[in-house]
A and B are shown apart, each in its own frame.
Chain A
Amino acid sequence: DSGVTQTPKHLITATGQRVTLRCSPRSGDLSVYWYQQSLDQGLQFLIQYYNGEERAKGNILERFSAQQFPDLHSELNLSSLELGDSALYFCASSSLGGGSSYNEQFFGPGTRLTVL
């Protein structure tokens, strides 16, 4: 158990809908990362938040957004969903992200999103 929690475990929805995925980082970790895992694209970095502020963006679509709250939990919002958005979404956390190079990232169990 990494100490990172994600809810829900599974989510089934229809095209065009909007969903919110939730992540709680390990106790004391300030950085939260979101990743998407699909069969064709593999594991891809989406976005990072550090202590409430957006820190870095990866391959995140404009239809997707995220935020990190004062209690450090994070939410990933996916809107105007398409069939191709079906994937596993992972959250990871690390204690660093404020300028250090060696930030070990610990992954949660993931949310499996199915868009029908």
Chain B
Amino acid sequence: GENVEQHPSTLSVQEGDSAVIKCTYSDSASNYFPWYKQELGKGPQLIIDIRSNVGEKKDQRIAVTLNKTAKHFSLHITETQPEDSAVYFCAANSGGGADGLTFGKGTHLIIQP
């Protein structure tokens, strides 16, 4: 089955700086890669996703890149703000609409004022 590795487990950045979280996946059949943000006491919230036929996608301060050859994808957050502090999860599914998501272990992002 699919295996998703996520790094780092904790990331502390100064407010206004950029943050990058990286993930690798094992199943070359995977074709959908979402990112979720989870705040304390809440469920994961979908923030951005990318499909295997696209190399990069941006949404305001958030961007995701995908390298299918290397089987890795990354989340980039620019101009970080205090409200960006949360746990971020990357995930992958193997397509076909029939599989659940395989998640990374999560990155605790801390924005220092």
Contact = CB atoms under 8 A, between A and B. Distances in A.
A and B pair up: yes
Interface of A: 2, 4, 31, 33, 35, 42-48, 50, 55-56, 58, 90, 96-110
Interface string B97-110: 11111111110000
A101 B49 contact: no
Nearest to A98: B97
B36 to A, nearest CB: 7
What's the dominant secondary structure at chain B's contact region?
Answer: loop
B102 to A, nearest CB: 7
Contacts, number: 75
Given A42-B106, A102-B32, A102-B51, A110 B43 contact: yes
5 nearest A-B residue pairs (beta carbon): A45-B100, A101-B95, A107-B43, A43-B103, A100-B97
A103 B97 contact: yes
Given A43-B103, A55-B98, A107-B45, A101 B31 contact: yes
B89 interface: yes
Nearest to A90: B43
B34 A105 contact: yes
